[in-house]
Structure 1
Amino acid sequence: MIHRFIWGSSNGSPSLALVKWDTVKSPLREGGLGFGDLRRHNQALIMKRGFQLITDVDKPWVHVLKAKYKWDGDLPMHIFRPNYSRLWRGISQSWDVVCSGICWQVRDGWHTDFWWDIWLNGTAPLVTHCLLSSLPNPMPVDAMISASGQWD
């Protein structure tokens, strides 16, 4: 597809490539066009869109996607949906990577879950470190702090 874009085509058949693909994808300083690994570029762009779903909540396209795929409220652990668009499929395939790079700011503690949100830098959600026989119920960080501001 890239070959046809760069060199064009006539009557539905690709034109003759004037330069080898290895030269085209090599860096500019080596005489190429600097395309590099397009899969990695695409993955980075899709992950950026996933991050924007979380951070740019006021943008119209974010409202449309969240409404279409019924994303209400907090950050979901998984976003896979049947009959999804190509963009949503790409975002859902990289969702674990996007979520692994997120750390919540606790602020007042009411909107950050003590067990399930990633609010301690450099660690997974605390529920993954829990040795209880059953999973703990969601609880805001604020519920774990006494009136004097000390850990309860």
Structure 2
Amino acid sequence: MVDKKAILAIVGVPATQRYDTYLGLPALVGKSRTAAFKGILDPAVIQAIPSYCMGIFLLPNDLCSDINSQMRKFWWGHQENGTRINWMSWGKMGMAKASGGMGFRNLNLFNRALLAKQSWRLWKEPESLVVKIMKAKYYPDGSILDAKVGAKPSFAWRSIHSSCDVLKEDLFWRIGNGATV
């Protein structure tokens, strides 16, 4: 106990008894994933906060629907006792601007894309500390592309692993100058 007090005094931070979040992300994700991530549903920063979280965790579909609902209410306006005119369908708003849409993201697909980016990093950056840790724990004898979910995985690993199929679908060999493939 003395060591803990000394370290806290040196660092200048208070001790905490609760570990609900760390860097804005849930420290523990239990059975109710929607409850664990409900804190990111803040209308003021509806697209910035989820992007950070989506790069690490696979958000529940109903939470993505709630976020989409908040974006629709903001864009179209919201009245408690009435409806507003929706000048453009939500599907068209999700299309790319170059295709005549507004560029809103499909949050489920965006979430999977960000997780696939993490899978790519785990595949292409073998000297990274996080890669060394994940490899030692989840796929010690192979590649992330061959990894299994395994027994009792963390929610972060389960999330990243769920995107490996996206990575596998879009990988192909590119022949360069003949020295490398």
Query: What TM-score do you get using the length of structure 2 for normalisation?
Result: 0.38
Computing the radius of gyration over CA atoms, which structure comes out larger, 1 or 2? 1
More helix by share: 2
Higher relative contact order (CA 8 A, sep 6+): 2
**TM-score between both structures, scaled by the size of structure 1:** 0.44
